[in-house]
Chain A
Amino acid sequence: MIIDTNVNLSRWPFRRLPGDETPDLVTRLRKVNVVQAWAGSFDGVLHKDIGGVNARLAADCVTHGKDFLVPFGSINPKLPDWQEDVRRCAKDYRMPGIRLHPNYHGYELKDPVFAEVLQVASANGLMVQLVVSMEDIRTQHPLMRVPPVDLSALVAVMKNQRAARLMLLSWWPALRVQQIRPLADAGELYFDFAMLEGIEGVARLVEQVPPERVLFGSNFPLFYFEAALLKVQESGLPEARKGLLFEGNARRILAAKA
């Protein structure tokens, strides 16, 4: 059984994708043994009506994936009154977390607003997922050049945000495996491996950080789901460790929130 922590609903702006209709996405994920998917919304990357994005996300999860899709609402702290969006995610929709796209929303991690988001999220009991990149910068649409999030300030921020629970999604190649340890030591940070590359990449990752900090994430439907699955297979991890990555760590994190 698998809990996929890196899934998006709705439409990617530049390409139709197999699975970009929510009922179809749920069917496809169930077929490959996924029992729960933490879902953000592609709409959260570019839309300015984030309240509407999160309302649709919450409704879609209930309508098409009750007890299967777990919504992670988008927060853009450069929008006026973003704190109300956080409140709605926590209180109205009972989401366990929020998702950030700093590179698409126009702020750096050294911007005080990032620390403020972490604070407000923690105060509301929300985990934060930070998406480092959505796609290879070399193949982006020429009118939509968005470099990955610069993570150089993250260690310092996390050291001052001891209550924050942060998960980095799609962090490779902006961050290399050998650079990851200081981040893991700086606070409660978790990592997916949707974009991780290199032979036996997941095995190398769990040598650098405790295996309790690594969660299965596929970046489906933008990426083929099978990529994350086969990375685990290629890495030849022991069954107990695979169980943590596939499911155990995600369940533990959500249980701690509850």
Chain B
Amino acid sequence: MEVLIRCADRLGIERIILSQGYSADLHPTPEQLREENDRVMRAVRRFPERAYGSVYLSPSFLEFSLREFDRCVRDGPMVGVGELEADMRCNAPELDPIVERAISTKAPILQHTWLKLDGNLPGESTPYDLVELAHRHPDANFICAHTGGDWERGIRIIRTTKNICAGVAGFDPTAGVVEMAVRELGPERVVYGSDVGGRSFASQLAKVMGADIPDSAKELVLGGNLRRLFAPALRAKGYQA
């Protein structure tokens, strides 16, 4: 965490939303989920001015995940859900109770998505799956993590589903991605993220800093939109959004 804060300081990043601790396990046990969430909450408590927490859950352990949501979000310091990427595609009905819990606290949901040329992993979600889920829950706010990786398709897939924002973290800093996302979705539906660990703050920040979009749009993408999305959950915890 010290390394993250040090690097964030070098790049002018004020706040970090943490999830999943060190694990990239796509089939976590309840014990692993709890351990990861505990790790995130320790970091949030240690750096309350710099870090927010987002709970890691698995629809394969639904009852446990709902209790974990209550422990970490409803009764704990966390303010968001995800990145959800474990075990099953997000159009599965098992996601519905998790989303309903998130709606109850107005916590946004970060959902992993990819569109891999050679096919996704079993249980790995696509933006199409997220669109299905978002249509079932019009009161929820979703962030389409990685915009499907293949962003020229991902942006089109989510375009008409207004409760999904494009998350531009976690793929190469290919020029034009943020310009297309802002053009097709509007600047209010595009959010910066780093996916740091696998990626760097730097390469992902560059997508916004280097984009040919107005400064006002950059401000929204870099923070304004996340502030708006997280404001209800933050206020409920006594944070200043």
Q: How far is the CB of B55 from chain A (nearest CB, A)?
A: 23
Q: Chain A 124-152, CB within 8 Å of chain B: the 1/0 string?
A: 00000000000111111010010000000
Number of interface residues of B (CB under 8 A): 37
Q: Determine whether the beta carbon of B174 is less than 8 Å from that of A223.
A: yes
Whether B161 sits at the interface, judged by CB under 8 Å, is no
- Could you tell me the dominant secondary structure of chain A's interface residues? loop
Q: Determine whether the beta carbon of B172 is less than 8 Å from that of A233.
A: no
Given known A-B contacts A18-B175, A197-B198, A223-B175, A230 and B205 have beta carbons under 8 A apart: yes
Q: Determine whether the beta carbon of A233 is less than 8 Å from that of B175.
A: no
Whether A13 sits at the interface, judged by CB under 8 Å, is no
B151 neighbours in A (Cβ, 8 Å):
139
Q: Which of B10, B11, B174, B200 contacts A197 (CB 8 A)?
A: B200
The A-contacting residues of B in range 193-223, CB under 8 angstroms, are 196-203, 205-207, 209-212
Q: How far is the CB of B23 from chain A (nearest CB, A)?
A: 16
Whether B21 sits at the interface, judged by CB under 8 Å, is no
Q: Determine whether the beta carbon of B206 is less than 8 Å from that of A198.
A: no
Number of interface residues of A (CB under 8 A): 33
A38 to B172, CA, bound (A): 21
A19 to B174, CA, bound (A): 13
Given known A-B contacts A138-B149, A197-B198, A199-B4, A17 and B206 have beta carbons under 8 A apart: no
- Max count, chain B CB within 10 A of own CB: residue among A16, A142, A230, A231: A230
A145 neighbours in B (Cβ, 8 Å):
117
Whether A116 sits at the interface, judged by CB under 8 Å, is no
Q: Determine whether the beta carbon of B7 is less than 8 Å from that of A197.
A: no
A229 neighbours in B (Cβ, 8 Å):
206
Q: Which of A142, A223, A236 contacts B172 (CB 8 A)?
A: A223
Q: Determine whether the beta carbon of B202 is less than 8 Å from that of A142.
A: no
Given known A-B contacts A19-B175, A222-B175, A230 and B117 have beta carbons under 8 A apart: no
The A-contacting residues of B in range 102-142, CB under 8 angstroms, are 114-118
A19 to B179, CA, bound (A): 14
A234 to B9, CA, bound (A): 9
Q: Which of A15, A16, A230 contacts B202 (CB 8 A)?
A: A230
Given known A-B contacts A223-B174, A230-B11, A233-B10, A138 and B206 have beta carbons under 8 A apart: no
Whether A102 sits at the interface, judged by CB under 8 Å, is no
Which chain A residue shows the least CB distance to B172? A136
Q: How far is the CB of B124 from chain A (nearest CB, A)?
A: 12
Q: Determine whether the beta carbon of B117 is less than 8 Å from that of A234.
A: no
* Contact surface of B with A, Cβ cutoff 8 Å: 3-4, 6-7, 10-11, 114-118, 149-152, 171-176, 179, 196-203, 205-207, 209-212
> What are 10 A-B contacts defined by CB distance under 8 Å?
A138-B116, A142-B117, A197-B199, A199-B196, A201-B202, A220-B175, A223-B172, A224-B206, A230-B203, A231-B203
